[in-house]
Structure 1
Amino acid sequence: MKASERKSEVFFTSAGTAWEKVDNGIERQFVGYDDRIMMVKVKFEKGAVGYVHNHYHSQATYVASGVFKITVEGKDKILREGDGFFIASNVPHGAECLEDGMLIDVFSPAREDFLK
């Protein structure tokens, strides 16, 4: 089923939503989505790396907790709780967790590849 044919529940509860393992030290939890937008909580353990990648989706990310080294187009910036960043379509980016933390990612359109 395509993302355009699905959508999340109206209300999200952290306790009632499963975490999905993404990679070593990285898990995600879907907050809400339809075909146009998706919000995802991404929990990182210290030392976990979201390797540099790109995708056609626009992405806005909020640092909910922790400390991260964020790389965008080869430039690094240390971000902490309350900070954020925006990634335009197809821009290479990645994250390294320096202190246990959580990112809140919002994608437009929804990441169909996450829903498989």
Structure 2
Amino acid sequence: MKRRSENFIHSNKEKWEDLGGGVQRQFLGYDNQIMMVKVKFEKGAVGSPHQHFHTQATYCAKGKFEFTIDGEKQIVNAGDGVYFEPNVLHSAVCLEEGILIDVFSPVREDFLDGSKVSYFGK
């Protein structure tokens, strides 16, 4: 099935989806091959350990996070990037209120199908 977003996505016009636990997301563009998502975290919100078959790259637009990727922990600040290989266990803890821009390939069908993805919590 072919899926794609509009060509222009204005974040002030797009709704935020509440995922619970102090985490919200907003879609910023996608088709069958790629997806970009803005994820807003309250301080203390957690992305519990999880893995998926998608390749992921994340840009920290605001805040401070502690990421763990395949057992390695590092602090990520605004302006930093993170790369996740497919099927590698990873997690995050928001140390200062922040925003992450996640890019996935291929598209996260589970996001578009309304899944709140259970790895977010506080």
Matches within 5 A, 1:10-25: 10-25=7-22
Matched residue SS, 1:5:
coil
Q: Which residue of 2 aligns with 1:104?
A: 101
2:88 and 2:42 map into 1 onto residues whose CA distance is: 25
Runs of 4+ in 1 over 6 A off after TM superposition: none
* 1:92 aligned residue: 89
Residue 92 of structure 2 aligns to which amino acid in structure 1?
A
Q: Is 1:35 matched with 2:24?
A: no
1:23 deviates by 2.5
| Matched AA of 1:87 | F
Q: Secondary structure at the match of 2:96?
A: strand
**Runs of 5+ consecutive residues of structure 1 not aligned to the other structure:** none
TM, length-normalised to structure 2: 0.91
Provide the C-alpha distance between the structure 2 equivalents of 1:105 and 1:23, rounded to a whole number of angstroms. Answer: 18
Over residues 10-63 of structure 1, what are the superposed CA-to-partner deviations in whole Å (9 max), with x where a residue is unaligned?
A: 001111101001221000000000000000000000000010100000000000
Runs of 5+ unmatched residues, structure 2: 114-122
Give the match for residue 110 of structure 2. Answer: 113
Task: Count residues with an aligned counterpart.
Answer: 113
What is the RMSD of the two structures over their aligned residues, measured on CA atoms?
Answer: 0.7
Is 1:63 the counterpart of 2:70? The answer is: no
State the distance in 2 between where 1:21 and 1:54 align. Answer: 21
| Percent of residue pairs identical | 57
User: Displacement of 1:99 after TM fit?
Assistant: 0.2
Distance 2:19 2:54 in 1: 18
TM-score (norm 1): 0.95
